[in-house]
């Protein structure tokens, strides 16, 4: 985001499922040498068409909509902003600032256009919990096979969780690609393996067939969450309750 939003520093997730309607985050900017925090709430998402948000701060409230349109194979990106000041002073200043807000908005869109044009690989714009997906927790995009893998918690009953495969146009390929999971969370892939955390186990599955190959666990594990893989192929997973990191090395050794 720092590539196209001027002054952007970081985003801190507050509540809701990230990148879905109702998600709330604090967005940090540096403006004229001072830090500014704006609270963002996603109010509407129309897949591959638009996303609407509200931004609130001590100074002003803003309704924002980013819209995308297909024009003969090209994508037109536009935005609409409605802002109002909080308090008499802010309202007075907003009238003077309207042109600069519009100018900043146009600059941000121009920067976003450059980022999109300079991105060589295809990256799906929106990944949403849609269709028949039940409590989608995490997802990862496989660029070689052009497929999305998503972990589904299910209804939190033993064995009703899974990893689904989804095409980049939003269609479910296989809802139970990796089946009989309990509460799957983080997910990561290599060229031939898929790894997903499942409560106290790290599930190692075949990337081509979805068949479970091994289950890795230790008595000290309380609740595994996110999964990541380094450039050497070592797999790491975090334990939410103990704040510890576990490692599965390339020789198959599983340790704290």
Query: Which of the 8 DSSP states describes residue 51?
Result: E
pLDDT at 253: 92
State whether 143 and 36 are in the same domain: no
State whether 250 and 143 are in the same domain: yes
Q: Report if residue 122 sits inside a domain.
A: no
What is the percent of the chain with per-residue pLDDT over 70, rounded to a whole number?
Answer: 75
* Residues of the domain holding 212: 136-255
Model confidence pTM above 0.85: no
State whether 13 and 111 are in the same domain: yes
Helix, strand or coil for residue 58?
A: coil
Provide DSSP, 170-229.
S-EEEEEEEEEESSEEEEEE-SSEEEEEETTEEEEEETTT--EEEEE--TT---EEEEEE
State whether 108 and 150 are in the same domain: no
Q: Which of 191, 188, 194 is nearest to 211 (CA)?
A: 194
pLDDT at 216: 95
What's the total number of domains in the chain?
A: 2
Of 174 and 170, the one with more pLDDT: 174
State whether 95 and 140 are in the same domain: no
Cα angle value 124/130/134 (rounded, 5°): 120
Of 132 and 180, the one with more pLDDT: 180
pLDDT at 236: 94
Locate all alpha helices (DSSP H) within 1-87, ordered by sequence. Answer: none
State whether 76 and 141 are in the same domain: no
Whether the per-residue pLDDT at 15 is higher than 80: the answer is yes
Which sign does the torsion angle of CA 141, 132, 47, 72 carry? positive
State whether 152 and 98 are in the same domain: no
Q: Are 44 and 66 in contact (CB under 8 A)?
A: no
What is the percent of the chain with per-residue pLDDT over 90, rounded to a whole number?
Answer: 28
Would you state the structure tokens that stand for residue 68, as one six-digit string?
């995308």
State whether 141 and 249 are in the same domain: yes
pLDDT at 125: 43
Question: Which phi and psi angles does 105 have, rounded to 5°?
Answer: -60, -45
CA distance 61 to 40: 10
Beta bridge partners of 224: 239
């Amino acid at each position: 985001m720092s590539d196209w939003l001027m002054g952007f520093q970081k985003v801190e997730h507050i509540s809701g499922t990230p990148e879905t309607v109702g998600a709330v985050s604090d967005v940090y900017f540096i403006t004229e040498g001072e830090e500014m925090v704006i609270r963002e709430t996603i109010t509407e998402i129309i897949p591959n068409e638009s996303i609407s948000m509200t931004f609130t701060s001590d100074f002003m409230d803003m309704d924002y909509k980013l819209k995308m349109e297909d024009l003969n194979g090209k994508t037109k990106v536009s935005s609409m902003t409605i802002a109002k000041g909080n308090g008499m002073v802010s309202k007075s200043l907003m009238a003077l600032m309207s042109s600069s807000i519009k100018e900043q908005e146009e600059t941000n869109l121009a920067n976003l256009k450059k980022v999109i044009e300079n991105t060589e690989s295809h990256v799906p714009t929106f990944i949403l919990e849609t269709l028949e997906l039940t409590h989608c927790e995490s997802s990862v995009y496989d660029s070689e096979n052009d497929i999305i893998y998503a972990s589904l918690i299910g209804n939190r009953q033993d064995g009703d969780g899974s990893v689904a495969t989804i095409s980049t146009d939003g269609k479910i390929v296989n809802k139970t690609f990796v089946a009989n999971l309990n509460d799957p969370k983080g997910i990561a892939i290599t060229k031939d393996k898929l790894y997903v955390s499942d409560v106290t186990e790290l599930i190692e599955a075949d990337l081509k067939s979805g068949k479970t190959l091994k289950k890795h666990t230790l008595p000290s594990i309380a609740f595994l969450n996110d999964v990541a893989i380094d450039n050497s192929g070592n797999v790491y997973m975090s334990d939410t309750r103990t704040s510890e990191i576990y490692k599965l090395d390339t020789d198959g050794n599983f340790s704290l």
